[in-house]
Amino acid sequence: MRLINRHPGRAARLFLGSLPFLILVVAYLVASAARLADNPGDKLLPALSSFAQAIETMALTPDRRTGAYLLWSDTWASLTRLWAGLGIATAITLVMGLAIGVLPVMRALLAPVVAFASMVPPLALLPILFIALGLGETSKIALIVIGVTPFLIRDLSLAAAALPREMIVKAETLSASTWLIALRVVLPQVMPRLLDSLRLQLGPAFLFLIAAEAISADSGLGYRIFLVRRYLSMDIIFPYVAWITLLAVAMDLGLGGLRRLMFPWWGLEGRR
């Protein structure tokens, strides 16, 4: 049988899928044990027990100074910023993306400036944002909005423009107005695409969030990582990185599920 036609069974798939994770964990444990044997106080590659202790301190013990549970207060602060940023970006995208996709006049007016704006590296704007909007929450949320919105708008307007011309003509022959066509024909068909591109933008959104928190904050996941970096607390940094990854994966799955729930007819994987 050709290799291209050999499909692993269920058990083999599970094994193959977990193999890279296993290799990473074993490699870590070996390196960590070697360093700890050399210097029991080593902070670079802590033992698993140190992780457990750090997680206990951060997630289950109230902070001595503020009485807050740091992991949860950091998570809440970060997610508030992230959701605010993504929410604003989505709202702007719906209005502008639809306008650009549906109306040739708006396309002529806005498409070039959006294309231009999407090429500005958002992190390079950070110093300007901090001066213009202060060091508070506004500048952090603004960075996420600026970083994510142009991409979302371009994607949405491309999706709208790619709808079959016949569909629009058909709606027109049924005497639908421009407003009605945008709302009832175009919008339902681009919404699933918007949810999917939002999923793809989760990574960049977290990147912008952490970059902003690293510069000035008093809570947040990125803040904590860059704070404890000062004294090389890998026992806190690793669990935080894992936790951020987990949050991003959960949001990705959530948005995917939401799309399937709201638009079951859309795409090849949808229910028939």
82-90, 155-163, 166-174, 227-235 -> range binding another protein (CB under 8 A): 227-235
Of 128, 132, 101, nearest to 114 by C-alpha is 101
Site for another protein (CB under 8 A): which residue of 79, 227, 248, 258? 227
35-43, 101-109, 172-180, 246-254 -> range binding another protein (CB under 8 A): 35-43
Site for another protein (CB under 8 A): which residue of 144, 208, 255, 259? 208
Q: How far is the CB of 186 from another protein (least distance, A)?
A: 36
78-86, 151-159, 187-195, 207-215 -> range binding another protein (CB under 8 A): 207-215
d(CA 113, CA 253): 33
The site string for another protein over 87-116 (x = CB under 8 A, - otherwise) reads ------------------------------
Reading the block at residue 235, the tokens are: 């026992």
Nearer to another protein, 38 or 166 (CB): 38
Within a 10 A sphere around the Cβ of 105, how many other Cβ atoms? Answer: 9
The site string for another protein over 135-154 (x = CB under 8 A, - otherwise) reads xx------------------
Q: How far is the CB of 192 from another protein (least distance, A)?
A: 30
Vertex 78 angle, CA 92 and 230, to 5°: 135
Site for another protein in 39-68 (CB under 8 A): 39-45, 53-54, 57, 64-65
Contacts of 32 (CB under 8 A, 6+ apart): 45, 46, 47
d(CA 267, CA 113): 31
d(CA 116, CA 104): 18
Site for another protein (CB under 8 A): which residue of 47, 79, 163, 214? 214
Task: Provide the Cα torsion 235, 237, 242, 247; round to 10°.
Answer: 130
70 interacts with another protein by CB under 8 A? no
Write the burial class of residue 206 (CB in 10 Å: 0-12 exposed, 13-18 middle, 19+ buried).
buried
Site for another protein (CB under 8 A): which residue of 77, 98, 210, 255? 210
Reading the block at residue 23, the tokens are: 């290799």
Q: Is the dihedral of CA 178, 183, 188, 194 positive or negative?
A: positive
Nearer to another protein, 187 or 248 (CB): 248
The site string for another protein over 238-267 (x = CB under 8 A, - otherwise) reads ---x--------------------------
Nearer to another protein, 35 or 107 (CB): 35
- DSSP H or E run through 238: helix 234-262
d(CA 209, CA 211): 5
What are the residues binding another protein (CB under 8 A)?
27-28, 30-32, 34-35, 38-45, 53-54, 57, 64-65, 123, 127, 130-131, 134-136, 207-208, 210-211, 214-218, 223, 225-227, 229-232, 234-235, 237, 241
